[in-house]
Amino acid sequence: MAASSVGVLPSMSARHEPGAAPAGEGRSKAAKARAYTLLSDEDLLSMIGADDAEAFQALVERHADRAYAIAFRFLRNATDAEDVVQDALLKVWTSGCKWESGRARFSTWLYRVITNRCIDLKRRPTSEAIDVVPEVASEAPSQVNEILRMEASSRLERAIAELPEQQKTALLFSYYENLSNAEIAEIMETTVSAVESLLKRGRQHLRAVLQREGADMLNSLKND
């Protein structure tokens, strides 16, 4: 998902009168935009505190895709995931975030906000997400293998969705985001040993869910 699709960037567009900018001005803006990409999150946040819209845009472009991926894996709903990310990022612009320099990375704060918001949304009744099945023009081996791979991935995600919330959170950050146990503990505001326990119990639970689903599929085939 492109960062702009989150819906944050359009509202932060440049505040200039319409009309083509001179070539020199365009090059200057491009150079300035590149310079922003070299700044740390901490530097960008300081500039955002001074109402620097371009610093905000740079921060959004840096974090929006990964933030959306996390939200979508929790919610399995594109619209809800976009709303969660937009709300979290707009909070940075409109009221300043509660992230404190020296205590945690900005990404840790952002993932914590998104995780908590997703958990809140999951507690509300929602419409069931619909899996999109790709159309296949032929049964070429490469296409069949891709469908099998997608089905295996879909089964895994459905199984993870059945886990208790804390186990699911730890597994999502470990499996999909490749975060260390220490990073996961910081996001979840718990200890490393607690994360290790959640991952162990989560894997055991996940294995049982997948084995049960496999047995159900076999029984269904036998009854056909």
Give the domain ranges of the chain. Answer: 1-12+27-128, 137-224
Closest CA to 85 of 107, 117, 133: 117
Question: In which residue are the tokens 């960062």 written?
Answer: 3
| % of the chain residues with pLDDT over 90 | 35
Given a cut of 70, whether residue 164 has pLDDT beyond it is yes
At residue 222, the pLDDT reads 47
Report pLDDT digits (tens) over 173-185.
998 888 999 999 9
CATH T-level topology, domain 137-224: Arc Repressor Mutant, subunit A (1.10.10)
CATH T-level topology, domain 1-12+27-128: Rna Polymerase Sigma Factor; Chain: A (1.10.1740)
Whether 137-224 and 1-12+27-128 are alike in CATH topology: the answer is: no
At residue 29, the pLDDT reads 67
Report pLDDT digits (tens) over 38-89.
899 989 988 888 888 899 999 999 999 999 999 998 988 999 999 999 999 9
Summarize the confidence of residues 19-33 as an average pLDDT.
60
At residue 131, the pLDDT reads 42
Summarize the confidence of residues 137-148 as an average pLDDT.
52
At residue 217, the pLDDT reads 45
User: What is the pTM assigned to this prediction?
Assistant: 0.64
